[in-house]
Chain A
Amino acid sequence: MIPVLDFDDLTVDDVSRHFGRRRAVSSITFQASRGTVLGLLGPNGAGKSTLLAMLATLLRPSGGRIRYGAHDAAAHGAALRGSIGVLGHDLFLYPELTAQENLEFFAALYGIADPRRAALESLRQAGLAGRAGDPVSNFSRGMRQRVALERALIHRPRLLLLDEPFTGLDDASAAALAARLRSLKKDGAIVVLATHDLDLAEGMFDRAVFLREGRMLDAIDRPGALRSTYRDVMSRA
């Protein structure tokens, strides 16, 4: 495996991304350090998913730079990916494989020494140890989401990128996810979370970046009353 690079902060500096003539993201700047939960908030088409794809090194910025500590994705993409975990809209799971096989496969791909043990530990953490041998296609959306979260976390990433992670979760699972994110934050992870679910995200963010039509409208530290803050920022724009 390629050696993994760790970092203490994430810097997004004047980053833009164009698809042909369409501007998906324009001049975004923010920073996040270890132990920070950063929210990306905005309506559909605001550029949140494009920004997350760039942070995940899946897309190159058309302009500006993204720095992971002192490192750059262009030079150290593969090594940085070992420190990045992604939970997207889609769950990145093979429905034909069992939950354990899915997690074992990704653990091995990330170079974890004992993939089987890591997979079983992750399933226990997700409360799905009893369903380890069931194909993921037999799981409910919420259960799949929990397996997908464990897949994103199996290599203990420094940077965790989450795109609408509360989708399909019942109240108990959503609360468990929120608690997990707080514990990751305490362990020094940088969590970047894009969501529409302002009620569930209430009190979770150390910083919220508000986006609309690819532009950054505002960035607010420790935003309180998230829903009204969101409404204010959007109406000002």
Chain B
Amino acid sequence: MFARVVWLVLRKDLTVEVRSLEIAYTTLFFAVSCVLVFAFALVREGRAPEDGAAGILWISIAFAGTLALGRAFERERQSETLRALLLAPAARPAIYVGKLLGIVALLGACEMVLVPLVALLFQAPLFAHPVWLAIILLAGTIGFAAVGTLFAAMLVRARTRDVLLPVLLYPITVPVIIAGVRATATLLQPELDMDSIRFWLALLGCFDVVFVTLALWTFEPLMTD
């Protein structure tokens, strides 16, 4: 009944978020501000730097993701509801997967605003290959959120969690962000280099498998103490 627990946790997280819209608004505001600052700094006389769009898109996703992760678990900390989840006779990795999918859904919604904004401000042909872009964004978001969800859950009781989360998260997720940037940048080239896209996507897929497997394996012991 792993899937049932995943669904229950995911549905609960989405219901809570739809009611409050707290994480969606703060994350989106932060991500959009980030893109606007880069646009004001880098776009000169209507000309955007070549290949800049991919990096700016992923930096915004990473920053917004960190904010979303922190807030998602802060909410569970305030009423100690994370403890209540851990007290249930359910497989704890299922709780982790439910939380992970909630974060991925939130970041996915954020990306739906960020992608057109970056495409517009940086004149980047991000919609030239929408399916490939969606796959790259999904794979990168899962890799980033897999590590982030584990760390955010671990740090939920730490007083310095707001500082520790990015300090721990960014060094480990740098390969995911680099692979995401390179794959997205390849999509922006006039000629689509499929070998390069497949390589970066395979790398993202490997990171996803490794990070999710490690997180599933370590979540139970880490959350018991």
A residues adjacent to B (C-beta < 8 A): 1-2, 4, 56-60, 77-82, 84, 86, 88-97, 101, 105-106, 108-111, 135, 151
Given A2-B90, A96-B16, A96-B20, are A90 and B85 also a contact pair (CB < 8 Å)? no
Chain A residue numbers with a CB within 8 Å of B19 are 96-97, 135
Please report the C-alpha to C-alpha distance between residue A97 and residue B18 in the assembled complex, in whole angstroms: 11
Shortest Cβ gap from B92 to chain A (Å) = 8
Leading 10 A-B pairs by shortest Cβ distance: A82-B89, A92-B84, A90-B80, A109-B88, A96-B19, A81-B89, A96-B16, A1-B1, A2-B89, A96-B20
Residue of B nearest to A79 (CB): B89
Shortest Cβ gap from A62 to chain B (Å) = 10
Cβ A60 vs Cβ B89 within 8 A: no
Cβ A59 vs Cβ B224 within 8 A: yes
* 8 residue pairs from A and B, CB less than 8 Å apart: A1-B5, A2-B89, A58-B86, A94-B16, A94-B81, A96-B16, A101-B15, A105-B8
Give the interface centre of A59, A82, A88, A92 by most chain B CB atoms within 10 Å.
A92
Q: Determine if B222 is an interface residue (Cβ-Cβ < 8 Å).
A: no
Residue of B nearest to A1 (CB): B1
- Binary contact readout B12-34 vs A (1 if CB under 8 angstroms, 0 otherwise): 10011001100000000000000
Residue of A nearest to B221 (CB): A60
Please report the C-alpha to C-alpha distance between residue A105 and residue B98 in the assembled complex, in whole angstroms: 13
Please report the C-alpha to C-alpha distance between residue A227 and residue B45 in the assembled complex, in whole angstroms: 80
Give the interface SS of chain A, mostly helix, strand, loop or mixed.
loop
Cβ A60 vs Cβ B224 within 8 A: yes
Q: Determine if B79 is an interface residue (Cβ-Cβ < 8 Å).
A: yes
Please report the C-alpha to C-alpha distance between residue A78 and residue B15 in the assembled complex, in whole angstroms: 26
Chain A residue numbers with a CB within 8 Å of B92 are 78
Residue of A nearest to B225 (CB): A60
Cβ B80 vs Cβ A92 within 8 A: yes
Cβ A88 vs Cβ B80 within 8 A: yes
Shortest Cβ gap from B189 to chain A (Å) = 45
Residue of A nearest to B11 (CB): A105
Q: A4-B89, A58-B224, A88-B80 are in contact. List 8 more A-B contacts (CB 8 A).
A: A1-B89, A2-B89, A2-B90, A2-B91, A78-B91, A82-B89, A94-B81, A111-B89
Which listed residue (B4, B12, B87) contacts A56, Cβ 8 A? B87
Cβ B80 vs Cβ A109 within 8 A: no
Given A58-B224, A106-B84, are A78 and B89 also a contact pair (CB < 8 Å)? yes
Please report the C-alpha to C-alpha distance between residue A58 and residue B87 in the assembled complex, in whole angstroms: 7
Residue of B nearest to A3 (CB): B89
Please report the C-alpha to C-alpha distance between residue A60 and residue B92 in the assembled complex, in whole angstroms: 16
Please report the C-alpha to C-alpha distance between residue A2 and residue B90 in the assembled complex, in whole angstroms: 6
Cβ B1 vs Cβ A111 within 8 A: yes
Please report the C-alpha to C-alpha distance between residue A110 and residue B85 in the assembled complex, in whole angstroms: 10
Chain A residue numbers with a CB within 8 Å of B79 are 90-95
Please report the C-alpha to C-alpha distance between residue A88 and residue B80 in the assembled complex, in whole angstroms: 9
Residue of A nearest to B20 (CB): A96
Cβ B81 vs Cβ A93 within 8 A: yes
Given A92-B79, A92-B83, A97-B16, are A110 and B224 also a contact pair (CB < 8 Å)? no
Chain A residue numbers with a CB within 8 Å of B1 are 1-2, 111
Chain A residue numbers with a CB within 8 Å of B16 are 94, 96-97
Shortest Cβ gap from B78 to chain A (Å) = 8
Please report the C-alpha to C-alpha distance between residue A45 and residue B8 in the assembled complex, in whole angstroms: 36
Given A92-B79, A105-B12, A108-B8, are A81 and B20 also a contact pair (CB < 8 Å)? no
Chain B residues numbered 82-124 whose CB sits less than 8 Å from any CB in chain A: 83-92
Shortest Cβ gap from A2 to chain B (Å) = 5
Cβ A1 vs Cβ B90 within 8 A: yes
Please report the C-alpha to C-alpha distance between residue A90 and residue B156 in the assembled complex, in whole angstroms: 15
Given A92-B80, A94-B81, A96-B16, are A81 and B8 also a contact pair (CB < 8 Å)? no
